[in-house]
Amino acid sequence: MALTDVHPIPEENVPRAHISSSQIEEWRQVAHDEVLRAVKNEHSWYFDLDSKIRDGYDMIADKHQLRAYVRDVPNATLKNVLIRARLDTNLDNLAYALHCDNTLDQRRVYAHLYQDHFLDGGIVHVSEPKTEEDPFHFVGMKWSAFRSPVPSLLDSRDYIYFAYYGTVVDAQGRKVLFRFMRSMPMDGVEIEERVLPNMVRGRMSHVHLYRQDGDRVQLSVQAMHSTEGSLPGWAVTKTLSMLWPGIVNLATLTDAKTLTSLGMTKLRDRQSSSWAPFGDAAHTARLSAGADKDRGSCRVCLRRFRMTRPKRLCSGCGCQTCKSCTVRMCFFDEQKMKSATAVAALRFCIKCIEDVRHHRGEELKMTPDALYASFRQASSREANSDVNDDDLDLDDFDHDIVSPHMDTSDLDDYNVDHSSSSSTSSSTSSGRYSPPESSGFSLSEATRPTPPPLPLAPGRSRRSLSSTPDRTPPFRVHSAPNVLGGIHETPEHVVKPLTAASLRRLNSLSAQEAKDLEATFRERVKQYTGGDNQLRSPLPLHR
């Protein structure tokens, strides 16, 4: 019987443990002491990785923002592993995304992290759930099963392990999230489980430490693996390589978890017979009517589709976008609606990713440059990044728009009467406002992005604003304007929101929806200007 026919097993068949509270407390104390030794000793692998890797470690991975080292354990079938990585996220996101105290959440998290390597998983025992003081806290036992790197030759492996998650402070006073996962001695522990075909029980030990490092998170990992059975050395190394996607994909785990909770993956689980749609009425109508299917250019970057830039359908809003403007993520497909392996790969456009981040109301602790780069890094491996003038399909929009990456000098290419737009903008504001504390934006983090501007195609020109005073100056945003994409800054540093009429043309919104969106943009203008509508701080990009 194929593994895909067996997994995921029904939740009632997930292994269950009968264990005393004293045994759990003993394990918890062992884990707590080991974590404290790492974060309180400034000569530990957590602080001084470079000196530790000189002690017989060989590099086995040097990927983008990730380095991994391995060494053999003498007289044992074990491998010691040290990993250092930097993640484009923050501690609050990780605490939200990584915590799981039920089987369905555990499967969703591991399906995203380990992708096609993941077979199954579940919660074996819960001793201590999260608390108000520490929402990342967890003490219990978990089970995970992973596909063999060579299924035709080797059996797959599964692990039952003790899991202890929490928060501590290191020797330098910095907040650290930790995950301790270890296959403990099971003497005296009764495990109820069914024998699974083609599966060998392995042993492992992991300590993961996460701390904020500027606008990113630094991850330090100390691990020990024993895969048991007749596994040759090359296969052990290949098995260890499963750890890399499990670390790299942490950067998008928050997005994946939010997309799932909002029903945007449209994947049903056994606990629910339906999914809840998310998004505004324009997205829903466009998806149901298929209005976007014949589009000839990417709705995000406006570049034309071609053989080297194939179109992709966003699983969230249904828009046609190019590969470079989408992010590929894996999700747990319990009912195998889109995959035979219970792990489905879906694509979402950058706009949908931004929407779910704002929906959560989180404050992204990244500069605009870092945020833009994190989107591009996720898709640049699959896309042709060449840009030329003929790629831009500006005629497809009945709206004057400007790239957020444009230098103000590029506005001259649009034949715009800057003085007219400036006077029009500056006359629309009165009074002085301060940003509300709940806005979720940090002016101190806002910086002007530096990527090169997208040029206007030769021979194209835009209409002068002098004859259309109700419209904003040329403002090429990426697709529909997001929360801050709807604010325009003129060369004279005067800001003005997109109008309701422009929003309706660009997004096919109803009159009331456009009016509400314009009001939102006007509030954003107030946050960054004084009574004279002059810009007081640089505008953030795509927050």
Q: Residue 495 falls within a domain, yes or no?
A: yes
Q: Measured between alpha carbons, how far is residue 194 from residues 13, 188, 381 in Å?
A: 7, 19, 41
Q: Residue 349 falls within a domain, yes or no?
A: yes
397 within 8 A of 300, measured Cβ to Cβ: no
Signed CA dihedral, 262, 257, 268, 264: sign only: positive
Q: Residue 387 falls within a domain, yes or no?
A: no
Q: Residue 378 falls within a domain, yes or no?
A: yes
246 within 8 A of 311, measured Cβ to Cβ: no
358 within 8 A of 483, measured Cβ to Cβ: yes
Specify whether 285 is located in the same domain as 369: yes
Q: Residue 389 falls within a domain, yes or no?
A: no
Beta strands in 199-342 (DSSP E): 199-201, 203-213, 216-226, 311-313, 320-322, 326-332
Q: What is the dihedral of CA 222, 226, 231, 236, to 10 degrees?
A: 0
Give the per-residue pLDDT at 120: 94
Specify whether 378 is located in the same domain as 418: no
Q: Residue 451 falls within a domain, yes or no?
A: yes
Q: Residue 252 falls within a domain, yes or no?
A: no
Q: What is the dihedral of CA 145, 149, 154, 155, to 10 degrees?
A: 10
Give the per-residue pLDDT at 341: 82
- Residue 270, number of CB atoms within 10 A of its CB: 11
Specify whether 372 is located in the same domain as 452: no
pLDDT (tens, 9 = 90+) of the chain, 543 residues, equals: 556 667 888 998 999 999 999 999 999 999 999 999 999 999 999 999 999 999 989 998 898 789 999 998 876 677 899 999 999 999 999 999 999 999 999 999 999 999 999 999 999 999 999 999 999 999 999 999 998 877 776 778 899 999 999 999 999 999 999 999 999 998 889 999 988 888 888 888 999 999 999 999 999 999 987 756 555 667 667 777 888 889 999 999 999 999 998 888 887 665 554 444 444 434 444 444 454 566 788 888 888 888 888 888 899 888 888 888 899 999 998 888 877 788 999 999 988 888 888 877 644 444 444 444 444 444 444 444 343 434 444 343 333 333 333 333 333 332 333 333 333 333 333 333 233 333 333 323 333 333 333 333 333 333 332 333 333 333 333 333 333 344 444 444 455 555 666 555 555 556 776 677 667 666 666 665 555 555 554 444 332
Q: Which domain-ending residue is among 194, 216, 244? A: 244
Specify whether 27 is located in the same domain as 174: yes
Q: Residue 534 falls within a domain, yes or no?
A: no
Specify whether 28 is located in the same domain as 96: yes
Specify whether 69 is located in the same domain as 213: yes
Give the per-residue pLDDT at 46: 97
Specify whether 272 is located in the same domain as 337: yes
Burial of 440 (0-12, 13-18, 19+ CB in 10 A): middle
- Residue 25 sits at the vertex; the CA angle it makes with 22 and 29, to the nearest 5 degrees, is 140
Residue 433 CA to chain centroid, in angstroms? Answer: 34
Q: What Rg value do the Cα atoms of the chain yield, rounded?
A: 26
Specify whether 207 is located in the same domain as 324: no
3-state secondary structure of 49: helix
Specify whether 266 is located in the same domain as 314: yes
Instruction: Report the CATH number that the domain containing residue 277 is assigned in CATH.
Output: 3.30.40.10
Q: Which domain holds residue 492?
A: 394-528
Q: Which domain-ending residue is among 211, 244, 277? A: 244
- Please give the tally of structural domains in the chain: 3
Q: Which domain-ending residue is among 352, 382, 412? A: 382
Q: In the numeric block, which tokens belong to residue 333?
A: 């497909």
Specify whether 150 is located in the same domain as 39: yes
Residue corresponding to tokens 């406002």: 433
Specify whether 161 is located in the same domain as 308: no
Specify whether 57 is located in the same domain as 102: yes
pTM across the whole model: 0.66
Instruction: Report the CATH number that the domain containing residue 61 is assigned in CATH.
Output: 3.30.530.20
